[in-house]
Structure 1
Amino acid sequence: MPPLDAATLLMVIAVIDAIACVVWLALGQVLRIAPRAARRISAYHGLLALAWWPALPAAMERLVALPLDVLSAALLAAGVRALMRVRYRAWDIAAVAAAGLLATAATAGDTDLSTARAVANLAGGVLALMAAWDVAAGAGFRAGLTSVVVLPYLVLASGCFWRAGGLLGWMPAGLDLAGLAANAPLALLRLVVDLTIATGLVALVMQRLIARVRHLTRRDALTGVLNRRAFEEHLARLQAQAERGRGHAVLVLDVDHFKRINDELGHAGGDAALQHLARVLGETLRDTDCFGRLGGEEFAVLLPDTDPDGAMRVAERLRQLLQAQPLAWGDKLWPISASFGVATMRAGDAHGRGALARADAAMYAAKARGRNRVLRAVDEAELA
Structure 2
Amino acid sequence: MIGAPETHSLLLAIVMICVVSSVIWLCMATVARIAPQASYCVAAANLAQAASIALLSLSGRAPDAWTQWPSDMLGVASFVLLHHGVQRMTRGPASWPLTLGSLLIVGLALAWLPGVAQTALALLASAGFALAAAASLRSRPLIRNDAERYAFVLWAPLLLTGLLLALRGLELGFFPGTLAAVRGLQLLDDSFLWIAIVVVLLQNTSLAFLVLLRLVLRIQQLHESDVLTGALNRRAFEAALVRAHHDARRNEPYALVMLDMDHFKRLNDNLGHAAGDAALRLMVQAVSPCLREVDRLGRLGGEEFAVLLPRTSLAGAALVADRMRTLLAERAFAWKGQAWPLSASFGIAEVEPGDANAEAVLARADAGLYLAKSQGRNIVQSV
Q: Is the 8 A contact 2:127 2:161 kept in 1?
A: no
Letter in 1 for 2:126: L
Q: Is the 8 A contact 1:70 1:120 kept in 2?
A: no
Pick closer, same or farther for the CA change 1:285–1:88 going to 2, 3 Å: same
| Partner secondary structure for residue 151 of structure 1 | helix
After TM superposition, list the pairs within 5 Å mapping 1:228-267 onto structure 2: 228-240=234-246, 242=248, 248-267=254-273
The 2-side partners of 1:95 and 1:246 are apart by: 47
Aligned CA RMSD, in angstroms, stands at: 3.5
Residue matched to 1:278:
284
Pick closer, same or farther for the CA change 1:318–1:94 going to 2, 3 Å: closer
Larger radius of gyration: 1
Pick closer, same or farther for the CA change 1:91–1:126 going to 2, 3 Å: farther
Pick closer, same or farther for the CA change 1:128–1:343 going to 2, 3 Å: same
Question: Deviation string for 1:268-327 (max 9, x for gaps)?
Answer: 322221111112112124455432211221101234455555544543443333223232
| Partner secondary structure for residue 52 of structure 1 | helix
Residue matched to 2:145:
none
Letter in 1 for 2:324: L
Q: CA deviation at 1:135?
A: 1.2
The 2-side partners of 1:157 and 1:354 are apart by: 57
Are 2:35 and 1:34 equivalent residues in the alignment?
yes
The 1-side partners of 2:83 and 2:349 are apart by: 51
Residue matched to 2:12:
11
Q: CA deviation at 1:42?
A: 0.7
Q: Is the 8 A contact 1:10 1:181 kept in 2?
A: no
Q: Is the 8 A contact 2:76 2:125 kept in 1?
A: no
| Partner secondary structure for residue 346 of structure 1 | coil
The 2-side partners of 1:41 and 1:188 are apart by: 22
Residue matched to 1:197:
203
Residue matched to 1:86:
92
Q: CA deviation at 1:66?
A: 4.0
Letter in 2 for 1:342: I
| Partner secondary structure for residue 182 of structure 2 | coil
| Partner secondary structure for residue 31 of structure 1 | coil
Residue matched to 1:156:
165
Pick closer, same or farther for the CA change 1:180–1:272 going to 2, 3 Å: farther
The 2-side partners of 1:93 and 1:236 are apart by: 45
Q: CA deviation at 1:244?
A: 6.5
| Partner secondary structure for residue 198 of structure 1 | helix
Residue matched to 2:122:
123
Are 2:330 and 1:324 equivalent residues in the alignment?
yes
Q: Is the 8 A contact 1:9 1:187 kept in 2?
A: yes
Residue matched to 2:75:
69
Question: Deviation string for 1:37-80 (max 9, x for gaps)?
Answer: 21111111112223333796724314744433332232223323
| Partner secondary structure for residue 227 of structure 2 | coil
Q: CA deviation at 1:337?
A: 1.6
Residue matched to 1:97:
103
Q: CA deviation at 1:348?
A: 4.3
| Partner secondary structure for residue 300 of structure 2 | strand
Pick closer, same or farther for the CA change 1:71–1:306 going to 2, 3 Å: closer
| Partner secondary structure for residue 221 of structure 1 | coil
Question: Deviation string for 1:184-209 (max 9, x for gaps)?
Answer: 52443332332222222223323333
**Further displaced range: 308-317 or 34-43:** 308-317
The 2-side partners of 1:164 and 1:90 are apart by: 30
Question: Deviation string for 1:12-55 (max 9, x for gaps)?
Answer: 22221111111111222332322222111111111222333379
Letter in 2 for 1:153: G
Question: Deviation string for 1:207-266 (max 9, x for gaps)?
Answer: 333333344343333323333223223322343455567664322221122233334444
| Partner secondary structure for residue 283 of structure 1 | helix
The 2-side partners of 1:249 and 1:160 are apart by: 53
Letter in 2 for 1:211: L
Q: Is the 8 A contact 2:355 2:361 kept in 1?
A: yes
Q: Compare the two structures and name the one with the higher helix fraction.
A: 2
Q: What fraction of aligned residue pairs are identical, expressed as a percent? A: 38
Q: Is the 8 A contact 1:251 1:315 kept in 2?
A: yes
Letter in 2 for 1:10: L
Q: Is the 8 A contact 1:96 1:127 kept in 2?
A: no
| Partner secondary structure for residue 260 of structure 2 | strand
The 2-side partners of 1:189 and 1:248 are apart by: 49
The 1-side partners of 2:98 and 2:317 are apart by: 47
After TM superposition, list the pairs within 5 Å mapping 1:222-233 onto structure 2: 222-233=228-239
After TM superposition, list the pairs within 5 Å mapping 1:133-148 onto structure 2: 133-139=132-138, 140=141, 145=153, 146-148=155-157
| Partner secondary structure for residue 254 of structure 1 | strand
The 2-side partners of 1:80 and 1:290 are apart by: 27
After TM superposition, list the pairs within 5 Å mapping 1:289-304 onto structure 2: 289-304=295-310
The number of aligned residues is 364
The 2-side partners of 1:251 and 1:105 are apart by: 61
Pick closer, same or farther for the CA change 1:124–1:319 going to 2, 3 Å: same
The 2-side partners of 1:79 and 1:100 are apart by: 19
Q: Is the 8 A contact 2:79 2:129 kept in 1?
A: no
Letter in 1 for 2:302: G
**Further displaced range: 262-271 or 24-33:** 262-271
Residue matched to 1:112:
none
Are 2:346 and 1:340 equivalent residues in the alignment?
yes
Are 2:224 and 1:218 equivalent residues in the alignment?
yes
| Partner secondary structure for residue 290 of structure 2 | coil
The 2-side partners of 1:136 and 1:231 are apart by: 32
| Partner secondary structure for residue 44 of structure 1 | helix
Unaligned runs of 5+ in 2: 142-147
Unaligned runs of 5+ in 1: 108-114
The 1-side partners of 2:316 and 2:48 are apart by: 60
